[in-house]
Amino acid sequence: MDEMIYEYIVVRYGELSTKGKNRKDFVNCLARNIKSALKDYPKLEYAVMHDGIFIYLNGEDFNGIKKALLTVFGYSYFAGAVKTSRDLDDIKKAALRIALNRPYKTFKIACRRQDKSYPLNSDTLNRAIAGHILASSTLKVDVHHPDLMLYTVVKKDAVYLMDDKIEGPGGYPVGINKRAMLMLSGGIDSPVAGYLSMKRGLKIECLHFASMPYTSKQALDKVLELARRLSLYQSDITVHIIPFTELQLAIYKHVDESYCITVMRRMMYRIADKICQKRAINVITNGESLGQVASQTPESMQVISQVADTLILRPVCMMDKLEIIDMAKKIDTYETSILPYEDCCTIFTPHNPVTHPKLDKCLYYESLFDYAALVDKCVENDEIRKLVYHQDNDEDLF
């Protein structure tokens, strides 16, 4: 397939999401994200317009760019485009070139005049272009299911012709809703929660509680690999690795076995809350799913999450496990998630975790040891790394 005929890519904004006073921020954020996703194509030139982002290809590889654009959230669709003058003969020639570019059998022309002062109306243009293609090729018109839908947009200075509209992954541009701290375990749920958070416009940082030496280096590598995979959608990702073992051991020393998970998760939220404050992040997001395990009953979630001031969002809360698994496969985190390394929760799994924990009991157990000092120590020993999708080796921030 010859993609060389394209001179431009036109990226169209979504209808609903770009209205109102935030439109400018939205478009600027999207443009920034697109440029970042396409940074490996230095010859591209951009024009950020009110009706779309025009990317002039300058001979860069369309297929590679297409793949990269599909990792950017916040636009409606994009299409390869050819630009011509507003002269009818030029438009006809360009249309024929696109029609003959692939072995299409049928076509339909869809003209839209953005500049209403153009002397020919849409219908006349449609007929003129279609007539030229019919006379110069073996293609037939099919208005219902054409192989080629040829979009023609008449603007003030030029005319753009586009074929296939390629739908984007939806959502909002990453960063438009500021940042969120994703609690990232090695499981299936939290990477999906991260993906859905980015899709809603949150740039994520990841927070992982590691229980070395009870958990292995492979277990940590697995989490870093998950983070790296998530970074595909936001160019780079910051990961916080919290040494959690000392605090966990103290919990298991002082807390009744049935309350260990509840208290441990309260500690996770306390730490997450403090790290968020330190990083000026306003949202915690995680892979909790209603009813999935003892610590995710409504009562458990209430007793656990009340220790945090930061807003907590749970993107997969209402999803079935099978739906989460499907999405994990789609975003290519599933195979990594099911690698068999233990994480901090599986190591200390009690036999009888409470499903309806009581707050006063939590407070009682927590009064038996100086957890605050241990929480602070975790926050201080936060090990920060920055990962980039297209780089095998991660780079330490400090």
Three-state secondary structure call for residue 141: strand
Q: Which of 7, 60, 189, 225 is close enough to bind Mg ion by CB under 5 A?
A: 189
Smaller CB separation from ligand ATP, 168 or 357: 357
Phi, psi of 58 (to 5 degrees): 50, 35
Beta-sheet strands, E only, within 245-314: 283-285, 311-313
Residue 308 interacts with ligand ATP (CB under 6 A): yes or no = no
Q: Are 206 and 227 in contact (CB under 8 A)?
A: yes
Q: Which of 168, 173, 175, 187 is close enough to bind ligand ATP by CB under 6 A?
A: 187
Smaller CB separation from Mg ion, 83 or 222: 222
Residue 194 interacts with ligand ATP (CB under 6 A): yes or no = no
Please report how close the Cβ of residue 278 comes to ligand ATP at its closest, in angstroms.
17
Three-state secondary structure call for residue 355: coil
Q: Which residue is nearest to ligand ATP (CB)?
A: 187
Number of residues this chain uses to bind Mg ion (CB under 5 A): 2
Please report how close the Cβ of residue 374 comes to ligand ATP at its closest, in angstroms.
16
Q: Are 231 and 182 in contact (CB under 8 A)?
A: no
Contacts 24+ apart (CB under 8 A), 291-296: 292/189, 292/321, 293/353, 294/261, 294/353, 294/354, 294/355, 295/261, 295/262, 295/265, 295/353
Query: What is the DSSP code (8-state) at residue 43?
Result: T
Q: How far apart are CA 306 and CA 312, in angstroms?
A: 10
Q: How far apart are CA 88 and CA 74, in angstroms?
A: 34
Please report how close the Cβ of residue 350 comes to ligand ATP at its closest, in angstroms.
13
Stretch that binds ligand ATP, among 97-105, 140-148, 150-158, 280-288 (CB under 6 A): 280-288
Smaller CB separation from Mg ion, 189 or 394: 189
Residue 60 interacts with Mg ion (CB under 5 A): yes or no = no
- The DSSP element (H or E) to which 347 belongs, if any, is helix 344-347
Q: Which of 126, 238, 262, 286 is close enough to bind ligand ATP by CB under 6 A?
A: 286
Q: How far apart are CA 289 and CA 72, in angstroms?
A: 26
Residue 75 interacts with ligand ATP (CB under 6 A): yes or no = no
Q: How far apart are CA 75 and CA 78, in angstroms?
A: 8
Query: Per-residue x/- mask for ligand ATP, residues 240 to 279, rule CB under 6 A?
Result: ----------------------------------------
Please report how close the Cβ of residue 370 comes to ligand ATP at its closest, in angstroms.
22
Please report how close the Cβ of residue 298 comes to Mg ion at its closest, in angstroms.
15
Q: Which of 288, 308, 371, 375 is close enough to bind ligand ATP by CB under 6 A?
A: 288
Q: Are 390 and 228 in contact (CB under 8 A)?
A: no
- Residues 324-353 within binding reach of ligand ATP (CB under 6 A): 343-345
DSSP-assigned beta bridge partners for residue 45: 56
Smaller CB separation from ligand ATP, 172 or 209: 209
Residue indicated by tokens 């654009």: 69
Smaller CB separation from ligand ATP, 101 or 300: 300
User: Where do contacts with Mg ion occur on this chain (CB under 5 A)?
Assistant: 189, 292
